[in-house]
Structure 1
């Protein structure tokens, strides 16, 4: 086995996984108060109001499709009565829709950040690297979903190659031959994905793990005025309280 194949399909995945796990631990220990999305909603809301939900829902749907395609082997879906052709068309249509929504939201967020001076000033070098990696991943994934799987004359079934290799990594028996038989675009997408996950702990994307679970049982916050209300308003409020 050549050194290049070992580097790309064995060392890179395990190095990315180790960086992903250790990086989160280090980030939480050293930058706990910086663990968040650093929201810029107060600076601009009009574009953010539609672009952010579109990007988040689209990327979550796309990620869910990737997990199903990589984790669940074709033999299991066939045993459940889902033919490979049926699964392919369902995955192609759902993936294309998810990719389209993600692209629309991502372009809106990029337009907002590049045209709004106040939002642009909050951009850090880590944000630039994140956007660079996301641009490659989103465009590659959308192209694969539309050009290769949905509209292509001979769609490629990546579960028989990339999926087999991905599962073999977690079984600690990397099947390099499986992934090297995949088309170049799929291989490039896999390499970019590992680079993205390796950088994930050092970006603002860590807010993905900050689910506001304690807020479910948290008591209401009572806000009080710092200064007394005008006399006319105090009189009206007092009269309202006395009314049964």
Structure 2
């Protein structure tokens, strides 16, 4: 029974989530191109947005960088460079914890902004609330997993979660690697499942809309009208 559950959660469900993620973006682009934006509310309030957005985006980019180094880079690479498990763990904590705290703080400010500014509260959609809710769970669960794994002799996700995750993209499914993973890491992964599933149907699609054409377009020239 346990093997069947592991296969469902770590061998089948990830591909269902990935199908929703990719298919949802394709559907959204075909059916709602005019809604494919971040729906900025900067003109309604700037102070909280500036602070919260800076903290959240700065923190989350640092967190994503840490995930890349810890999950996508095999542990054998670090061994070949002479980086011990203890050294990696210390570096991960020194950068990961401040980054996580910054992301949580920024997200909390953005949530407060949505709740306290009446004009923004009235224009906030259900999708916006869903994004904030699941983002908060993702970030808090990830930060909690970091604190609960602060012992350098504790759980090493680079030999379990990392190879499991990389294996999904080469169709080498290894759900057995997740059998002994602590529950707080699994909660973090389930939160990411949920967030990835709603992503294509919310404002998060703007992440894939970097205005590359702006880099090569001509400058816009503004002229002041002089009255006689």
TM-score scaled by length of structure 1: 0.87
Shift of 1:6: 2.2
Whether the 8 Å CA contact 1:126–1:202 is kept in 2: the answer is: yes
Q: Tell me what 1:158 maps to.
A: 157
2:204 maps to: 205
Aligned to 1:26: 27
Aligned equivalent of 1:105: 106
Do the aligned residues in 1 keep the contact of 2:6 with 2:176 (CA within 8 Å)? no
CA–CA distance in 1 between the matches of 2:223 and 2:31?
35
| Structure 1 residue aligned with 2:141 | 140
Task: Map residues 1-244 of structure 1 onto 2, 5 A cutoff.
Answer: 2-149=3-150, 152=151, 154-223=153-222, 229-231=226-228
The separation in 2 between residues aligned to 1:78 and 1:172, in whole angstroms, is: 26
Q: Does the CA-based 8 Å contact 1:180-1:187 persist in structure 2?
A: no
Give unmatched runs, 5+ long, in structure 1.
232-244
Q: Distance in 1 between matches of 2:7 and 2:156?
A: 24
Between the aligned partners of 2:161 and 2:215, the Cα distance in structure 1 is 40
Does structure 1 retain, via aligned residues, the 8 Å contact 2:66–2:92?
A: yes
Give 1:145 deviation, angstroms. Answer: 2.2
Alpha-carbon shift at residue 34 of structure 1 (Å): 0.8
Tell me, yes or no, if the aligned pair for 2:21 and 2:197 is still in contact at 8 Å: yes
Aligned to 1:241: none
Inter-partner Cα distance in structure 2 for 1:7 and 1:191: 13
RMSD over aligned Cα atoms: 1.7
Q: Which runs of 4+ in 1 moved over 6 A?
A: none
Residue by residue, what CA displacement relative to the aligned partner does 1:189-237 show, whole Å, maximum 9, x if unpaired? 1121122112211111111111122111211223356xx6443xxxxxx
Q: How far is the alpha carbon of 1:3 from its aligned partner?
A: 3.5
Structure 2: distance between partners of 1:20 and 1:29? 14
Counterpart-to-counterpart distance in 1, 2:81 and 2:197: 35
Structure 1 or 2, whichever has the larger Rg, is: 1
Deviation for aligned residue 1:105? 0.6
Alpha-carbon distance in structure 1 between the residues aligned to 2:85 and 2:176:
22
State the shift of 1:36 in Å: 0.8
Judge conservation of contact 1:127–1:203 (CA < 8 Å) in 2.
yes
> 1:86 and 1:72 mapped to 2: Cα distance?
16
- Answer yes or no: is the 8 Å Cα contact 1:8–1:191 preserved in 2: no
Q: Any gaps of 5 or more consecutive residues in structure 2?
A: none
